[in-house]
Structure 1
Amino acid sequence: FQVLTDQPVTMQPRKTSLKARRIGIWAEDKGFAVSAECSEAVQTAAQAAGEAGAQVLVAKPEVDGNALIDLYLQLLLPILASDMPSPLVKALEAGRPIAKLMARGEPFSIGKWALYSAATHHDWLKADETRRRLKRTMSEFFSRWHAIITPVAPTTAFEHVESGDAVTRLMKVDGKPVPYHMFHAWIALATVCHLPSVVIPVPRRKGELPCGVQIIGPEGGDLDVLAIAEALEAQMGGFQRPPEAVLLAPMPARVKGKPVKVKPEPKTKPVKPVKEKPVKPAKVVKPKPAPKVKPPKPVKPAKGRR
Structure 2
Amino acid sequence: MDVLFGSATDAAALLRRGELSARELTEAQLARVDAVNPALNAVVEVRRDAALTAADEADAALARGEDVGPLHGVPTTVKDCLDVAGMRTTWGVPAFADFVAAEDATVVRRLAAAGATVFGKTNPHEMLGDYGQTVNDVYGRTNNPWDVTRTPGGSTGGGAAAVAAGLSFVEYGSDLVGSIRIPASFCGVYGLRPSADTVPLTGLRVPRTPHAPSEWLYLSTIGPLTRSAADLRSVLRATAGPEGVAARAYSWRLPEPRHTRLADYRVGVVLDHPSAPVSSEVAAVLSNAVDALGRAGAKVVEGWPDGIDPDRHAETFGFHVGLFFAFQQSGHDFAPLSEVIEQENLRMASRTAWERYFADVDVLLCPTNFTPAFPHDTRPFGERVIATPEGDRPYDAQPFWVAHAALPGLPAVSAPVGRTASGLPVGAQVIGPRLEDDTAITFAELLADVVGGYERSPA
Offset at residue 31 of structure 1 (A): 2.3
Give the 3 Å change call, closer, same or farther, for CA 14–69 of structure 1 in structure 2.
closer
Query: Is residue 154 from structure 1 mapped to residue 370 from structure 2 by the alignment?
Result: yes
Match for residue 201 of structure 1 among 416, 439, 450: 416
1:188-240 superposed Cα distances (whole Å, 9 cap, x missing partner): 00000111111111222553311110111111111111111101112223322
Give the 3 Å change call, closer, same or farther, for CA 132–206 of structure 1 in structure 2.
closer
In 2, Cα distance between equivalents of 1:205 and 1:137: 34
In 1, Cα distance between equivalents of 2:241 and 2:344: 18
The equivalent of 1:304 in structure 2 is: none
Offset at residue 175 of structure 1 (A): 4.4
Match for residue 12 of structure 1 among 256, 261, 278: 256
| Structure 2 residue matching 1:202: 3-state secondary structure | strand
Query: Is residue 125 from structure 1 mapped to residue 338 from structure 2 by the alignment?
Result: no
Aligned-residue RMSD, C-alpha: 2.4
The equivalent of 2:352 in structure 1 is: 136
Offset at residue 85 of structure 1 (A): 7.3
Q: Answer yes or no: is the 8 Å Cα contact 1:9–1:222 preserved in 2.
A: no
In 2, Cα distance between equivalents of 1:16 and 1:34: 30
Name the structure with the higher strand share: 2
Query: Is residue 45 from structure 1 mapped to residue 289 from structure 2 by the alignment?
Result: yes
Give the 3 Å change call, closer, same or farther, for CA 147–68 of structure 1 in structure 2.
same
The equivalent of 2:426 in structure 1 is: 211
Q: Answer yes or no: is the 8 Å Cα contact 2:293–2:447 preserved in 1.
A: yes
1:109-160 superposed Cα distances (whole Å, 9 cap, x missing partner): xxxxxxxxx2244432321111101111111111121111100001011123
In 2, Cα distance between equivalents of 1:12 and 1:59: 26
The equivalent of 2:105 in structure 1 is: none
The equivalent of 2:269 in structure 1 is: 25
Letter in 2 for 1:240: E
**In percent, how many aligned pairs have the same letter?**
25
Give the 3 Å change call, closer, same or farther, for CA 50–152 of structure 1 in structure 2.
same
Query: Is residue 186 from structure 1 mapped to residue 431 from structure 2 by the alignment?
Result: no
| Structure 1 residue matching 2:405: 3-state secondary structure | helix
TM-score normalised by L of structure 2: 0.43
Offset at residue 58 of structure 1 (A): 1.7
Query: Is residue 224 from structure 1 mapped to residue 224 from structure 2 by the alignment?
Result: no
TM-score normalised by L of structure 1: 0.63
1:236-260 superposed Cα distances (whole Å, 9 cap, x missing partner): 2332213xxx31xxxxxxxxxxxxx
Match for residue 312 of structure 2 among 63, 67, 71: 67
Give the 3 Å change call, closer, same or farther, for CA 241–70 of structure 1 in structure 2.
same
> Highest Rg: 1 or 2?
1
| Structure 1 residue matching 2:448: 3-state secondary structure | helix
Give 1:74-89 correspondences, 5 Å limit.
74-84=319-329, 86=331, 89=332
Give the 3 Å change call, closer, same or farther, for CA 205–156 of structure 1 in structure 2.
closer
Letter in 2 for 1:155: T
Structure 2: tracts of 5 or more residues without a match = 1-193, 200-239, 243-250
The equivalent of 1:177 in structure 2 is: 392
